[in-house]
Amino acid sequence: MKILTCNAPNQFLYLEKDKPNIKPNHTLLKIKKVGLCGTDYHAFDGSQPFFSYPRILGHEIAATIEETNADSGFQHGELVTISPYFYCGKCIACRSGKNNCCTQMQVAGVHIDGAMAEYFLTPDHSIIKGDGLTADELVLVEPLAIGAHGVSRASIVKDEFVLVIGAGPIGLATMDFAKIAGANVIAMDINQQRLDFCREKLGLIHTINSLKDDVNEKLKEITKGDMPTVVIDCTGNLKAINSAVQYMAHSARFVLIGLQKEHLLISHPEFHKREGTLLSSRNALSKDFNYVIECIKTGKIEPEHYITHRVAFKEVKEHFESLRKPENQVVKAIIEF
């Protein structure tokens, strides 16, 4: 089978490799689509934590069952996706029902090889049935689940103001699920095209361009002086994270979905006087995946409108750099096999 490996930062390489052999409690998937996300872009440019090279990227998957064991419950040709977080099931986090932050976490495409390959062998317990969803919908279930999990961490109360920093795919997913939770969502980004997308596709009323607007004044205007009671960072940008405390209302929650390598530098007096709550949000739980699928089936989420670009698997190496350029206005790019 053909694979695409990230051999070193800024270096892709197509290789031939033997198709994996089936083994107990595992299923062989034939990959149909793979979504590109910030993790893949950061891995390519060398800024992704928890990463080593060489690595096959890709963890947002739509696939069909190619080969499986008789007792797996899956059928040949069945359309599925996966939860790409492989956990031990034994550590304190797993025993507490938090296998999304397992102490031995192995994420496909990060700690172990992912799905930028024609075939992918995965544990049966990671497979999520398609339940009537299309391949375009299924390939977006995982990034949507990241947003859904972050929103659940925030414990949003109806009608409160929620500032989401970063209007990339994870930020958009977070905005969508914050809306479903009843929040008044404020989108902030430095890319005006992304903010226009928030208005046109997500129906948001409040957007802030942090390069052009006075952010504090705009937030005071929108919230009638209160400031947002939830701030969620989806950028993983150190400057954005360190600046965000000033946007919090007193008693607000600050949720970090985005990830970066450096130390946080937050003013303790500013955070302390607000009695702020700092939360991280890592990966997603099975209940988040189930919730995403339910929301897609009931029309609360329309994942296809995130997809702006498509590229054939054999052309990823050639076009990858262009997909990272802001002027090409990529929201979500999908690799098609």
CB-based contacts of 70, cutoff 8 Å, min separation 6: none
- pTM of the shown model: 0.95
pLDDT of residue 326 exceeding 90:
no
**Whether the predicted pLDDT of 52 surpasses 90:** no
Higher per-residue pLDDT: 38 or 80: 80
Residue matched to tokens 């946080």:
264
Burial (CB < 10 A; 0-12, 13-18, 19+), residue 1, is middle
Q: Whole-angstrom Cα distance, residue 127 to residue 109?
A: 16
Q: Which domains does the chain have, with CATH numbers?
A: 2-139+302-336 (3.90.180.10), 147-280 (3.40.50.720)
For 256-311, what is each residue's pLDDT tens digit?
Answer: 999 888 899 999 999 999 999 999 999 999 999 999 999 999 999 999 889 999 99
- Per-residue pLDDT for 54 more than 90? yes
**pLDDT of 50 higher than 80:** no
At 119, give phi and psi (nearest 5°): -135, 155
Pick from 137, 175, 153: nearest CA to 60: 137
The whole-angstrom separation of Cα 27 and Cα 288 is 23
User: CA-to-CA distance for 53 and 264, rounded, in angstroms?
Assistant: 26
If you count them, how many residues does the chain have?
337
Please check the confidence at residue 201 and state whether its pLDDT lies above 90: yes
Question: Whole-angstrom Cα distance, residue 232 to residue 239?
Answer: 14
pLDDT band at 30 (very low <50, low <70, confident <90, very high): very high
- In this prediction, residue 51 has a pLDDT band, given cuts at 50, 70 and 90, of confident
| Bridging pattern class, strands 184-189 and 161-165 | parallel
Report, as an integer, the average pLDDT of 157-177: 97
Q: pLDDT at residue 67 above 90?
A: yes
Residue 49 has pLDDT above 80, yes or no: no
Three-class SS of residue 271?
A: helix
Q: Is 258:241 a contact under the CB 8 Å cutoff?
A: yes
